[in-house]
Amino acid sequence: MGVKGHYNTIKTDILIIGGEGAGTRAAIEAATKNPSLSITLLTQGPIGRSALTSMANGGIHWVSHPHDSFKAHFQDIVRMRYYLNDQNLVEVLVTEAPLR
């Protein structure tokens, strides 16, 4: 049995699979660091609307209101993902997102 349908073969220096927040950011960073590289971003649908970033209430949130706290934000994220997150990474997200 052969593969049916249309397909293309391309050459690329960097292939990034997943076009949500992390994948898109990785592509931007790679292009910024070395503009001469050929970078391909492979995604299953429209960027920002086809996987986990869109499930995170439409994007990345951070503590920006005086009545909010890093602890409350951390707990919200962990609870919303049913405690399956890597909590060390959640802590990095919560504390570093406002600085970026």
Helices (H), the chain: 21-33, 52-55, 70-80, 87-96
What are the structural domain ranges in the chain?
A: 1-56, 61-100
Tell me how far apart the alpha carbons of residues 47 and 41 are, in angstroms, rounded to a whole number. Answer: 10
Say if pTM beats, i.e. exceeds, 0.75: no
pLDDT tens-digit profile of 34-91? 999 999 998 887 766 666 665 555 556 778 778 889 999 899 888 988 888 889 988 9
Give the residue carrying structure tokens 């919200």: 76
